[in-house]
Amino acid sequence: MFKNAFVRTIILSNVLLQLGVWVRNFAILLYVTDITNNNPKSVSLISVAEFAPIFLFAIIGGTFADRWKPKRTMIVCELLSALSVFAVLLVVMYGSWQALFFATLVSAILSQFSQPSALKLFKQHVPEEQLQGVMAMFQTLMAIFMVFGPILGTYVYQHYGLEISIAVMGVCFIASAAVLTSLPADKENPSKAESNFKQELKDGLRYVWNSRALKTLGGTFAVSGLAVGIIQPLALFIAIENLGQDKLFLQWLLAANGTAMLVGGGFVMALSKKMRPQSLLAAGLIASTVGTIGIGLSTSVPLTIGFEVLTGLFYPCIMIGINTMMMKNTEAAFIGRVGGVLTPMLMGFMVIGMSAAGVMKAAFSLQAVYAGSGILFFLGALLLLPLMLRHPESPLESQGAAAVADSSD
């Protein structure tokens, strides 16, 4: 896989992007908790600003990604993100810290145009038999940043402050765009010039509706997104309330989780040719059920770290299973739109969960919220049972979905 120049280029670009994102995420988190005295509603608002645009713009961004040239789209999005970051930096320097939410907002919106373009390039340049292995490789990269990202982000913020942290993010985005310029030139697609945006949007929705695998994945996305959303902003309070630690202890919980993800990613790479993607996804969701409930109930640091390791080990199963199911059940011409339909199912319910997280914690307890999240993960696994029990899907199914979509033209 590393012999593929395309894969190497995307990996380097993603490394630079992840550096900027992790420094930004922890700088904003630590700064907002300092300013608001650990207010859970303010902390959850950070997540809403990051994920709400994904729900609102995913289907639009995915449809345009299918129309536009993917390489150029990715480069332009990275440069616009960098521009917005430096604009926010100027505002923050003059005392308006709320502008931090705007930097997160713009970056999240632009990612809905660049991410589907990256998937489209994968479909074009990576042989299908290598897709699951490549997805595992990228999940391993994410795991590395789960280990070192929080530590790096905390270090930069504590030693250099908020302004430098934001500037680092902008520089990383520019460097990522520069790396992407070495990708092969985009192929011309003259038929797209005559196509209708509204019709393409309808075709994307119809394509998903006519694929049993993609419809099932959408349902799993919805319940799993809600499960993640209601606990994602509350991780800080596991460290503070359950474990009696300082808020900076969160970075070590995330590091334990990320280290386990790194190991888990290696195992999944080895198993990727032996397990069907829906089986990988179900295994990851069941492990998340146990781990999430355990983290919510535990008041012991070693036990909590143990549950973090459990969820981390199986998290690659979730992401690799999702990405491989999408890629294998979708034609290249529909990659952006399929992602644009399914991603809002995940992110939309994540945003709902994040918006309610602070209120739920106040109304119930941290333990009850985490238990509810674990139950939702289990429901997501149950939804996959029909796909796990039937024979492997024929590759013609997704082509049939495309034919149904095309028949309406």
pTM: 0.66
38: Cβ contacts below 8 Å, ≥ 6 apart: 236, 240, 247
Query: In this structure, is residue 34 part of a structural domain?
Result: yes
Query: In this structure, is residue 393 part of a structural domain?
Result: no
CA–CA–CA angle 41, 46, 48 (5° rounding)? 85
**Terminus-to-terminus CA distance in the chain, angstroms?**
38
Helix (H) or strand (E) holding 188: none
Pick the more confident residue, 307 or 43. Answer: 307
DSSP state of 390: S
Query: In this structure, is residue 318 part of a structural domain?
Result: yes
Average pLDDT over residues 41-70: 73
Exposure string (b/e) for 81-103, b if CB count within 10 Å is 16 or more?
bbebbbebbeebeeeeeebbbbb
Q: How far apart are CA 150 and CA 160, in angstroms?
A: 15
The per-residue pLDDT for 1 is 58
Query: Amino acid identity of 380?
Result: G
The pLDDT tens digits for 253-309 are 888 888 888 788 777 777 666 778 888 889 999 999 999 999 999 999 999 999 999
The pLDDT tens digits for 200-212 are 767 777 888 888 8
Mean pLDDT check: name the lowest of 27-31, 346-350, 356-360, 392-396.
Answer: 392-396
Average pLDDT over residues 177-185: 86
Query: In this structure, is residue 397 part of a structural domain?
Result: no
Q: Calculate the CA 289 to chain-centre distance.
A: 19
Task: Give the best-scoring range by mean pLDDT among 125-134, 185-194, 301-310.
Answer: 301-310
The answer, yes or no, to whether residue 132 has pLDDT greater than 70, is no
Across the chain, how many H-helices and E-strands are there? 15, 0
The pLDDT tens digits for 58-86 are 777 777 777 788 888 889 988 988 888 88
Query: In this structure, is residue 303 part of a structural domain?
Result: yes
Phi-psi domain of 312 (left: phi exceeds 0; alpha: psi -120 through 50; beta: other): alpha
Is the CB of residue 141 less than 8 Å from the CB of residue 90?
no
The answer, yes or no, to whether residue 223 has pLDDT greater than 80, is yes
Is the CB of residue 308 less than 8 Å from the CB of residue 184?
no
Say what percent of the chain tops pLDDT 70.
Answer: 86
Count the Cβ atoms, other than its own, within 10 Å of residue 259.
19
Average pLDDT over residues 136-142: 73
Domain total in the chain = 1
Smallest CA-to-CA distance from 56 within 279, 308, 359, 351 is with 351
Boundaries of domain holding 45: 11-181+198-388
The answer, yes or no, to whether residue 138 has pLDDT greater than 80, is no
Pick the more confident residue, 255 or 335. Answer: 255
Query: In this structure, is residue 6 part of a structural domain?
Result: no
Widest Cα–Cα separation across the chain: 62
Query: In this structure, is residue 407 part of a structural domain?
Result: no
Q: How far apart are CA 103 and CA 108, in angstroms?
A: 9
Average pLDDT over residues 15-42: 81
CATH number at residue 39: 1.20.1250.20
Q: How far apart are CA 80 and CA 103, in angstroms?
A: 11
Query: In this structure, is residue 247 part of a structural domain?
Result: yes
